[in-house]
Structure 1
Amino acid sequence: MHLFRLDTSIFPANSTSSELADAAEAEWTAAHPEGTVTRRHLGAEPLPGDTWTHATLAGFVPAEQHTDEHRAASALAATLADELRAADAAVIAVPLYNWGVSQHFKTWVDVVIANAGPSDQLLKDKPVVLVTSLGGGFAPGTPREGWDHSTPYLERILRDVWGADLTVVRRELTLAGVNPAMESLRDLAAEYHTQALDAARDAGKNLVRA
């Protein structure tokens, strides 16, 4: 069995999304001690910013006219797409940054699509856990309702474009512990933390059952 694990936090040492992803992964590895895990951490090792441009343009240029940049970008794009094709299950951890999707994740998606195209369901019917963490509160009725422009995009790509059997684990108010303006929300944030860890473990068990 083969698990693909993707992280995108720019704070790998104390990442909430990675903590939750660890909890989900632990359930899978406990059930598959001989399984393999392919890891890619886009926050710690971002893809080169021009990879998508070169990989895309390579598709419009005859192979004999490819530059070194075209060839390198195309090879990387093929590797990224193959990592998804080879997986039996996946855990994807993506925090919300500035009310939108992580630029590291967006670049990765674009590069994968440069190789696979927009209609290749790379994760067709595969169990995937999406972990997302949000510094503030975005629930219905809150002042920032509707400001989360990341989660809908993540779900669209993983479930609708790539065909994943998707489970979403979401934790809000992650900044309550460090932001004085959110001090009154710290008890609620602690509840959310506990609930999200439980949800991540359950999602990991679902990976195993699937």
Structure 2
Amino acid sequence: MATLLHIDSAVFPQGSASRDVTAAFVKTWLEEHPDGKVVYRDLAANPLPHLDIAAVSAGADDALRRELADELEAADAVLIGAPMYNFTIPSTLKAWLDQVIIVGHNAGSPDGPVAGTPVTVVASRGGSYAPGTPREDFEFVQNYLEKVLTGMLGAEVDFIVPELTMAPAKPEMAELVPLAEASRTKAFDQAAQKAKELAARLAA
């Protein structure tokens, strides 16, 4: 039985683009993989403590860090909802990463226990930060997560990026609504497709 670790970090429980897309991903994954297991963490509803000196010193001997590390290592695949807040990831997601990444235990080695694990990140954002856009240089969600998840853990990272999510609510972005709708549709299509591919990969 394959296990999917599902992490959400959006502040809003409803109306969140990242939550909507991760939920669609999980729905398709379970339809394709009905005997699969989903382990869910809502970091907004149940935030983790920031890393402190005691936890750093204890490493994998710290009870919480070991619980999170074991959870990650037991997952055959990982799904992360990572909306952009102030150009980067939510602080709750950063706290999870700081707690779960333990150098010498699951990080810093090319053949660590998480190496090769497929990680799908739903990186939603209110505007557009794609290459060639005026705010390309302000994109610190994909850039950061790709580096930390591959560089520290050796995971295989893939992104789904719903953009312009604020367009329907901002009059000054009204002309971008069609692009926002297209991006949202594409994100849901990608979630379904990637979930199917992942289920097939894990069942093989």
Is this a same-fold pair by TM over 0.5?
Answer: yes
> Partner of 1:80: helix, strand, or coil?
helix
Q: CA deviation at 1:161?
A: 2.0
| Superposed CA RMSD | 1.8
Find out whether 1:123 has 2:111 as its counterpart.
no
Choose from 180, 185, 204 the match for 2:171. 180
Deviations 1:156-209 (CA, angstroms, capped at 9, x unpaired): 122232222222111110111112221111111111111111111111112112
Cα separation, partners in 2 of 1:205 and 1:18, compared to 1, 3 Å: same
Offset at 1:122? 4.0
Which of 134, 137, 144 aligns to 1:143? It is 134
Query: Stretches of 4+ moved more than 3 A in 1?
Result: 114-118
**Separation in 2, partners of 1:15, 1:39:** 17
Report the equivalent of 2:9. 8
- Name stretches of at least 5 consecutive residues in structure 2 with no aligned partner: none
CA distance in 2, matches of 1:141, 1:86: 39
In the TM superposition, residue 11 of structure 1 has moved relative to its aligned partner by 0.7
Q: 1:11 to 1:47 in 2, by over 3 A?
A: same
Matching residue of 2:47 = 46
Give 1:30 shift: 1.2
C-alpha change, 1:189 and 1:107, in structure 2 (3 Å) is: same
**Structure 1 unaligned runs (5+)?**
60-70
What is the rounded CA distance, in whole Å, between the counterparts of 2:162 and 2:191 in structure 1? 10
Q: CA shift at 1:114, angstroms?
A: 4.0
**What's the TM-score, normalizing by structure 2?**
0.88
- DSSP-derived class of the 1:100 partner: coil
Q: Quick check: 1:164 aligned with 2:155?
A: yes
The 3-state SS of whatever aligns with 2:197 is helix
Does the 8 Å CA contact 2:128/2:135 hold for their aligned counterparts?
Answer: yes
Q: Which moved more, 1:110-119 or 1:156-165?
A: 110-119
C-alpha distance in structure 1 between counterparts of 2:19 and 2:113, whole Å: 23
Are 2:50 and 1:86 aligned?
no
**Identical positions, percent:** 38
The 1:113/1:30 distance shift into structure 2, 3 A limit, reads same
Which of the two has higher C-alpha Rg?
A: 1
**Structure 1 CA distance, aligned partners of 2:29 and 2:147?**
24
Question: Contact 2:101/2:153 (CA < 8 Å) preserved in 1?
Answer: no
Residue 79 (structure 2) pairs with residue 55 (structure 1)? no
Deviations 1:28-59 (CA, angstroms, capped at 9, x unpaired): 2112222211111111111123x444301335
User: Counterparts in 2 of 1:62-81, with a 5 A limit?
Assistant: 74-81=62-69
Partner of 2:20: 19
Q: CA deviation at 1:139?
A: 2.1
- C-alpha contact 2:120 2:158 (8 A) present in aligned 1: yes
